[in-house]
Structure 1
Amino acid sequence: MLPNSMKLNKQTEEQLKKLKQFTGITPNVSSRIAFFRSVESGFKYSAETAKKLDGSLVLDKVTWLGDTQLVTELVLKQTYPDLDDKETMAAWAAHVEDGIAALRNHKSISSFSEAL
């Protein structure tokens, strides 16, 4: 399914780090929230518009996904049944990028939680 080591594109990674500075929410937790917001919004990954995953924050999938690992992988497999592991990681990263767009500008934990 998803590879053991995963990363995002540099822009998304920077947005997650800035969000952590303002709210204290770690990148792995905010990426989980962003992923599911993106899925709920109906966003669909397209290989033609995929960005290069050039971020420097490389974490194992257990750290990135935590308790949501099984659900995340099942959602990806159901939505994109024909993707290989690398493409599935790109789809996950695209969903995180899409979902973080609505969350990245919050300056406090209270405004972040109100947005959810």
Structure 2
Amino acid sequence: MLPNQVQLSTKATNKMQYIKSKTGLTPNISSRIAIMLAMKESSNLKNAELEDVNGQILNKGILFGEHMDVYDVLINQYIYDNDIELDIKKTIASLIEVGVHKMGHIKSLSDVCKLK
């Protein structure tokens, strides 16, 4: 079950604001892309800054939108496959943190299209 809210780090929030200024993508869309990038590469979530939770709060409905059920299954499968012991709220925040880091080179919408 997905949490009602996810609190991001200040670093992730600032990065998403930068991405929004360059591409027009809102933080919820950037977060969805970040989650998928992090899960695709089976990223190590130990590098995520979980102590800094002074960033933006994203509500479940906004963050996942109409694809909430798909994200619920994907994230829970990721947790199971990678034997992650964090609670789901911290796992999602970590996935976003790691994924946003992978989006660091984005300077235009065409850069988003080139993400692999």
C-alpha distance in 2 between matches for 1:107 and 1:77: 32
**What RMSD, in angstroms, separates the aligned Cα atoms of the two structures?**
2.4
Q: Report the Cα distance in structure 1 between the residues aligned to 2:75 and 2:66, rounded to whole angstroms.
A: 15
- Determine whether 1:52 maps to 2:55: no
Higher alpha-carbon deviation: 86-95 or 26-35: 86-95
Partner of 2:87: 87
* AA matched with 1:16: M
Please report the TM-score for the alignment, with normalisation by the length of structure 1.
0.82
Aligned residues: 114
Identical-pair percentage? 25
2:17 is matched with 17
Verify the 8 A CA contact 1:8 1:57 in the aligned structure 2. Answer: yes
Q: Map of 1:1-116 to 2, 5 A cutoff?
A: 1-46=1-46, 51-81=50-80, 87-116=87-116
Which residues of structure 2 form unaligned runs of 5+?
none
Secondary structure, counterpart of 1:6 in structure 2: strand
What is the distance in 2 between the residues matched to 1:49 and 1:22? 24
CA–CA distance in structure 2, aligned partners of residues 21 and 29 of structure 1: 13
Separation (CA, whole Å) in 2 of partners of 1:17 and 1:3: 23
Asked if 1 retains the 8 angstrom alpha-carbon contact of 2:19 and 2:106, the reply is yes
Q: How far apart are residue 8 of structure 1 and its match?
A: 0.9
Contact 1:6/1:61 (<8 A) preserved: yes
Contact 1:10–1:53, Cα closer than 8 Å, also in 2: yes
Post-superposition Cα deviations, 1:24-80, rounded to whole Å, max 9, x if no partner, equal 11110011011011101012445x966125134222101011133112211222232
TM-score, length basis structure 2: 0.82
The one-letter amino acid of 1:7's match is Q
